[in-house]
Chains A and B, each alone.
Chain A
Amino acid sequence: MFRDVAFGQYYPTGSPVHKLDPRTKLLLTVLFVITIFFIKSYFGFMLTLVVLLAIVIVSRLPIVSVLKSVRGILLIVLISAAINLFVIKDGEVLAHWKIFTITKNGVHTAIKLALRLVLVISGASLLPLTTTPVELADGLEKLMIPLKIIKVPVRDIAMIMSIALRFVPTLFEETQKIMNAQKARGAAIDHGNIFKRIGAMMPVLIPLFVNSFRRADELSFAMDARCYNATDRRTKMKRLKFGWGDAVAALFLLSYTVVILLDRYYFKTVGIDIDLMIFGELL
């Protein structure tokens, strides 16, 4: 049955975001993530948060579904922030204890790093939350078409990808079943240290592998029986089409990117410091 997968469980709501062309979503997600790495000011982070929230609201996703993705990397975020906090030693010293020194620069870097990571993961998680695996595979295939020129087997890759995606829920369910069966025989899968757990996973992994090979075998028969590889000119039932929504989404995200870039490269040079205007003495 359903368990809440940490990252990327499709969450159907039928929103305008769900209906966008997967290519648009793929490209805009990449743009969004890259843009986040260009953020310099707290204003930029706030703006990103607002944009993110706006997308979540338009997608009609519960905020929890996005936070769940963040939960998975929380530990990494905290550790990297802590490292920055203690390693950066230049700037005004705020506290000093034995070998540990905390500086103002360190605090800012740590906070910004944490925000960046959280925003990147939240932003990226929107893609699988609003796009079915098949759409993603289709979109990727279309985007990869230029690679055909350099003899990349785009269609095979797309087929492999879409079959892999198709089997995610099946294998997930099967893993659960096998785990239950072995737990029922007293397997200590859910406790002990990491090495013990890995050892205890063998009675789960081996049948999972064996069964996957059997599945692959049967699937290949089923695909052959349905004339897979009958012709080089395989056709497609579904055509991807850009619509108005895609234009609006692209415009929206591009404007955001422009603002972030202006903030980073231009505002300061013309003497505008939004952070100072908003936060003032706080910094």
Chain B
Amino acid sequence: MSQIEVKEVTFAYPLREGVGMRAVKNLSFSVEKGEFVALVGMNGSGKSTLAKLLNGLYTPTEGEILIDGISTSKDENVFEIRKRVGMVFQNPDNQTVATIVEDDVAFGPENIGLPREEIISRVRSALDAVSMTEFADRAVSKLSGGQKQRVAIAGVLAMRPEILILDEATSMLDPIGRREVLKVAKELNEQGITVINITHNMEEAAFAKRVLAMRKGRLAIDGTPKEVFASGLLEACGLKLPPVMQLAKALADRGFEMPSSVPDEEELAEEIWRQLK
């Protein structure tokens, strides 16, 4: 059994009586524990809807999603699912409930009625995990975008989740903030937390171990970054190759022999150097 099993899931936003707009269509895939997945697609491809399906904020119109074998469709499971699947959203300003950092991190544990000592220790270790301990008593509104998102991640970690979903969590951040968040995500992944990063930044996609690309509510590509970039299908999904691949392509046009896929800058430099020697 996989940690996440999405089985022939369709989801339609209700528009009016009996009519819906299908945002996710007959989707099936599974994710193993400890994976680092990038879920990519252009705006409106259904990727954020999928994220909300994964932790029971939405439930499938058809099909079923199992998290550790628990169905998200049953009402009585919903909090069990949400404890396991933590979500960080796009806008840092719209997901903090409290004015002070530590109060915000405590929100989740308070909601599930943990004893006070347990909350304190969880808040401490969650802030520690995102390197925000020294900001515990600061006002959230005075933090940078990257710091706010790290607080949001801490808020999720305090629930001790097994899966972390970043729903375009870096798209409103500057490059420094983006790196801060990705670094934290990577560290958590190394500690065994499954990470699903929803993004349309192709450099971030290259950073993952597996890329799922969505197009018009369906799964268009599923593979390693190398496979996905080499597939030639990205453009059809309304996406572009990451800059490093664009350079590789430009070099191929100029008589270099480039592999079909280059994951990062270091490897590209290595490849160029080999051919210039």
Contact = CB atoms under 8 A, between A and B. Distances in A.
Within 8 Å by CB, do A and B touch in the complex? yes
Interface of A: 132-134, 162-163, 165-166, 169-170, 214-215, 218-219, 221-231, 233-239
Contact of B100 (A132, A163, A231, A239): A132
Given A134-B103, A221-B52, A224-B57, A230 B79 contact: yes
Contacts of B109: 235, 237
Contacts of A234: 110-111, 113
B9 interface: no
B144 interface: no
Given A231-B112, A238-B103, 17 more contacts: A132-B100, A134-B98, A162-B97, A162-B99, A218-B90, A218-B94, A218-B95, A219-B97, A222-B97, A224-B57, A227-B83, A227-B159, A234-B113, A235-B116, A235-B119, A237-B106, A239-B116
A162 B90 CA distance: 22
16 contacts: A134-B99, A166-B99, A169-B141, A215-B94, A219-B97, A221-B52, A225-B55, A225-B86, A226-B82, A226-B111, A226-B155, A230-B79, A230-B112, A231-B112, A235-B110, A235-B116
B114 interface: yes
A189 B184 CA distance: 44
Q: Is the interface of A mostly helix, strand, loop or mixed?
A: helix
A166 B94 contact: no
Contacts of B87: 222, 225
Interface string B144-174: 0000000000011001000000000000000
A219 B95 contact: yes
Contacts of B99: 132-134, 162, 165-166
A28 B111 CA distance: 32
Contacts of A134: 98-100, 103
Given A215-B93, A218-B89, A218-B91, A228 B100 contact: no
- Chain B interface size, under 10 / 10 to 19 / 20 to 34 / 35 or more: 35 or more
A236 B95 CA distance: 19
B98 A237 contact: no
B135 interface: no
Interface string B72-98: 000000010011001101110111111
A5 to B, nearest CB: 13
A229 B110 CA distance: 10
A98 to B, nearest CB: 57
B64 interface: no
Contacts of A214: 94
Sort A-B residue pairs by CB-CB distance and give the 6 closest, nearest first: A222-B95, A218-B94, A237-B106, A226-B108, A230-B79, A231-B113
A226 B156 contact: yes
Nearest to A233: B113
Nearest to B114: A235
B172 to A, nearest CB: 12
A162 B97 CA distance: 8
A137 B188 CA distance: 34
Contacts of A223: 97, 107
A174 to B, nearest CB: 9
A167 to B, nearest CB: 9
Contacts of B193: none
Interface in B60-80: 79
B155 A221 contact: no
B220 interface: no
B123 interface: yes
Given A219-B95, A230-B113, A231-B112, A225 B100 contact: no
B83 to A, nearest CB: 6
A169 B96 CA distance: 13
A236 B119 CA distance: 8
A163 B99 CA distance: 8
B6 to A, nearest CB: 18
Contacts of A224: 57, 82
Contacts of B112: 227, 230-231
Nearest to B93: A170
B23 interface: no
A205 B139 CA distance: 27
Contact of B102 (A166, A219, A237): A237
